[in-house]
Amino acid sequence: MAGSPLLAMLPLLLLSAFLPSPIAAARSSNPRPFPPVPPPYLQALGQQRVRSSFDADGATASKPFTTHYFPQELDHFTFTPNSSMIFYQKYLLNDTFWRRPGGKQAGPLFVYTGNEGDIEWFATNTGFMFDIAPKFGALLVFIEHRFYGESKPFGSDSYKSPDKLGYLTSSQALADFAVLITSLKQNLSAEAAPVVVFGGSYGGMLASWFRLKYPHMAIGALASSAPILQFDYITPWTSFYDAVSQNYKSQSPNCFNVIKATWDVLKGRESNDTGLLELSKMFRACK
């Protein structure tokens, strides 16, 4: 058994299952205390051009941003004492291709609904928005998700208690996006500019939910790898795996059969301590 050719090939076979078919070929800053200012809907946007996020001669110089901080309300839905507290939400702008308001209709706002991480990482890995921005004359906006990156309402204490983490919800995040986008458009005299939201994975789910929750604010959403239809069993949870299996079948039935057979081998080996230890060493599994 230890010398099984199929078992020896398991790491490569399983890795290939998660790679594209060849045929088809943050950083955190110091926490900011709550300032004694009124809620954001009672004040101007107050945006500040802090710096360019990228060096002019760096590898990412083709994607320069200006960095801004928006005074965001902690709680959009209650009237508790904490609800009107303010934290600063980070967002990035790129107006290189934007058709500004004036003689012509303002170009659209392409807004990335940030997900779980520093917004710079998502901005520098979202090339599609940059690819199509020149054609549409779009302003690119990347909004950081609350509780991530530099947008932590309670600074370094943001994750230390359930009371604080209670403000980390997708509903609050969607409201953040709505308030910020509204204020940004007003500040830029671009109230009539259409908005399209973009996102991938959880960010794609946020983009879809934003379009559903705030249809008057976004004319469309482009969501990548966003399994929103699986939440309420509108689409079977196996749909992704069915599609991947079909992809391998269409190229090589034997390839599909070999990969499928590895799962039976894995189940057999993990059923006893000796086999489980062998698999742990082979895949360098965490303890």
Q: Which of 44-53, 128-137, 147-156 is predicted least confidently? A: 44-53
- pLDDT, residue 4, reads 52
Compute the chain's Rg from CA coordinates.
Answer: 23
- pLDDT, residue 195, reads 98
Model confidence, pTM = 0.69
Q: What is the pLDDT of residues 173-187, one digit of tens each?
A: 999 999 999 999 999
Do the Cβ atoms of 195 and 108 come closer than 8 Å? yes
**Across the beta sheet with 86-94, what order do the strands follow?**
66-73, 86-94, 139-143, 109-113, 195-200, 220-224
Which tokens is 188 given?
């830029």
Q: How far apart are CA 212 and CA 230, in angstroms?
A: 16
Average pLDDT estimate for 187-207: 96
**CA 15-20-23 angle, 5° bins:** 120
- pLDDT, residue 285, reads 83
Does the pLDDT value for residue 24 go beyond 50? no
What is the average pLDDT score of the chain? 82
pLDDT band of 147, cuts 50, 70, 90: very high
Amino acid at 227: P
Average pLDDT estimate for 189-200: 96
Q: How far apart are CA 264 and CA 7, in angstroms?
A: 11
Q: What is the pLDDT of residues 108-120, one digit of tens each?
A: 999 999 999 999 9
Q: Which of 17-26, 228-237, 243-252 is predicted least confidently? A: 17-26
Q: How far apart are CA 145 and CA 161, in angstroms?
A: 19
Amino acid at 107: G
Tokens 């359930």 found at: 162
- Nearest one of 90, 92, 76, 83 to 34, comparing CA atoms: 83
165-168 contacts at long range (C-beta below 8 A, 24 or more positions apart): 167/74, 167/75
Tokens 């928006």 found at: 70
- pLDDT, residue 287, reads 65
Supply the DSSP symbol for 219: S
pLDDT band of 233, cuts 50, 70, 90: confident
Tokens 């802090």 found at: 50
- pLDDT, residue 230, reads 85
Backbone dihedral angles phi then psi of residue 235, each to the nearest 5 degrees: -120, 135
Q: How far apart are CA 195 and CA 139, in angstroms?
A: 10
Do the Cβ atoms of 63 and 94 come closer than 8 Å? yes
Instruction: Locate the DSSP E strands across the chain.
Output: 66-73, 86-94, 109-113, 139-143, 195-200, 220-224
Domains of the chain by start residue, with CATH = 40-230 (3.40.50.1820), 238-287 (no CATH)
Q: What is the pLDDT of residues 53-101, one digit of tens each?
A: 333 333 333 568 999 999 999 999 998 888 889 999 999 999 999 999 8
Q: How far apart are CA 90 and CA 67, in angstroms?
A: 7
